[in-house]
Amino acid sequence: MSHYKDFLEELPERSLKLLKNYYELEKTKIDSYEVTLLISIAMPLFVITKELIEKNPNNELKVTKFYNSLNGSRKILSGISRKWLYSSIDKTDKPLLEIEQLINETPIIESNNKDLSILSQIRNALSHGGIKFTQENNEIAKILFFSEKRNKKNELEGYHLNLIPVDDFKLLLENWCNLLKTEGIKTWYNLFANAA
C-alpha cells in the first residue's frame, strides 16, 4: 500500500519509477497502454498539483531565478529529437478538433519557445482536453497537443500545436520530474500556469 508523507514532494520520484518500471514493459504487449501511462502521469505533473498550490509572494526572487535557469538551460528538452514539431496558427473559424496538420512547423529544439512556455502549452492542452493522436502501423506514434494562444488582454489570437513522438513525450516527463526533484517541487509548479 502507498503511503505519502508529502504528495507533492514525492510525486516526481514516484512518477519516474512508474516510467522506468512500466513504460518499456507496456510497449512489448500486444494491447499496450504506454501512451495511457504517459498521459496519466502527465496529468498530475502538469495540472492537478498546480491547482493545489497557491503562489507565495515571498518566493518571487526564487521564482525569477528558476525561471531564468529553466529557460537558459533547456534542461527539459535535453535529448529531445528533431521529430517533435511545433507550429503556431492564427485564430480560425475551424474547430480546433478538426485541425489535422501543422503548418510551417519547426523542430521544438529549434523554435524560439521558452521552456516555460512549452510546459505551459502542454499543461493547457491537458487541462482542456486538447489532445489528438496520429497512428502508424496500428499504433499511436505521436501525440498532438493544442492550446490557445492569448494576448495580454486575454484575447484569443491563435493556437500552439505540439506534435510529439511518444518516446519524446516520455523523455520530457523524465526531464521535468528530474528538474522538479532537483529544484524542489512546491516552489515551481505554478510557474507555468499562464506562461504560454
Q: Angle 7-27/166-183 helices, nearest 10 degrees? A: 160
Q: Which pLDDT band, with edges at 50, 70 and 90, does 55 fall under? A: very low
**pLDDT band at residue 54 using 50, 70 and 90 as cut-offs:** very low
Q: Sorting pLDDT into bands at 50, 70 and 90, what band is 94?
A: low
Domain range for 144 is: 7-192
Given a cut of 70, is residue 167 above it in pLDDT?
A: yes
% of the chain exceeding 70 in pLDDT: 73
Q: What is the pLDDT of residue 142?
A: 93
Residue at 106 is within a domain: yes
1 assigned to some structural domain? no
157 within a domain of the structure (yes/no): yes
Residue 159 host element (H or E): strand 156-165
Average pLDDT estimate for 36-43: 94
**For residue 144, what are the β-bridge partners?**
132, 163
Residue 135 grid cell: 497512428
Total domains in the chain come to: 1
Is residue 135 domain-resident? yes
Give the whole-angstrom CA distance, residue 63 versus residue 188. Answer: 7
29 occurs within a structural domain:
yes
Quote the strand ranges of 46-138, DSSP E: 85-90, 106-107, 131-136
Quick check: 117 and 142 in contact, CB under 8 A?
Answer: no
Residue 134, in any domain of the structure: yes
Confidence check: pLDDT of 162 > 90: yes
Q: How far is CA 181 from CA 3, 11, 16, 114, 176, in A?
A: 18, 9, 10, 21, 9
Amino acid at 69: S
Q: Is residue 35 part of a domain?
A: yes
Structural domain contains residue 2: no
